[in-house]
Amino acid sequence: MKKNSLFVPVRFYQIKATLRGIRPPIWRRFLVPADFTLEKTHRVLQTVMGWENCHLYEFRIGRETFGPSDDGFGENKKSDKKVTIGEALKEGERFVYTYDFGDSWEHELVFEKLVQPEEGKLYPVCVDGSRACPPEDCGSIPGYEMILQALRGPKTQEDRELVQWVGRYNPEFFDLKSVNRALKRMR
C-alpha cells in the first residue's frame, strides 16, 4: 500500500498527549497512521500542541529513547526516523515526549486505541483538546505560571512586560479547526 494521503492505511493510533505539571491540564487527542515514524509523530505533536519546532526533543518508550540521531545528546538514543508508531507501541502503553531540553516540556502520551479510518477523512487529524500550549521559551512551568499571574492583572513592571511579550495569548483557548488546517498543510 502506498504511503500518502490518497491511500488510507488500515490502522490508526488514537493518542492522547497531556502536558505534565500543569493544572488544569493542557491536552490533545489525535489520530496518526501506524506507519508514521516517530519523527513524523514529533511533527504532528508540534502542530497539535502549538509548539514552533525550534528545539530538540526525544521520545522515551519503555527503556528506549528515540530522537534525532545527530543531536549530540544521548549516545544510546535510537533514530526516530527508522521506527514507526506501529512498531514502537502496544495498545494502552504510556510513553513520554520531551520537547525543549532547556524548558523540559514533558508530555505524557497514551496510546488509547486502534481506530478504523473513516471514508474520505485525511490523516493525521486532531479530534479534541483543551487549553493553549505555553508560549515557546517562557521558562518552563515556573515561567508559564508567572505569565498566567501577569495575565490575571499586571501589578509590576515585570508583569506588564510579560503581558506585552505574550501579546494576544489566551491560555484557555484551543482552536481545533486551526490545528486541523495546519495538519492538512503537513500532509
Predicted TM-score (pTM) of the model is 0.90
Could you give all domains of the chain from N- to C-terminal order, each with its CATH number? 12-134+173-186 (3.10.290.30), 135-170 (no CATH)
* Distance from C-alpha of 34 to C-alpha of 37, rounded to nearest angstrom: 8
Are the C-beta atoms of residues 111 and 92 closer than 8 Å to each other? yes
Reported as a single tens digit per residue, the pLDDT across 139-156 is 999 999 999 999 999 899
Three-state secondary structure call for residue 153: coil
From start to end of the chain, where are the E strands? 12-19, 27-33, 57-61, 64-67, 78-79, 94-99, 105-115, 125-130
**pLDDT higher at 186 or 80:** 80
Task: Residue count of the chain, please give it.
Answer: 187
**Does residue 16 carry a pLDDT above 60?**
yes
> Residue 62, CB half-sphere, CA atoms under 13 Å: how many?
8
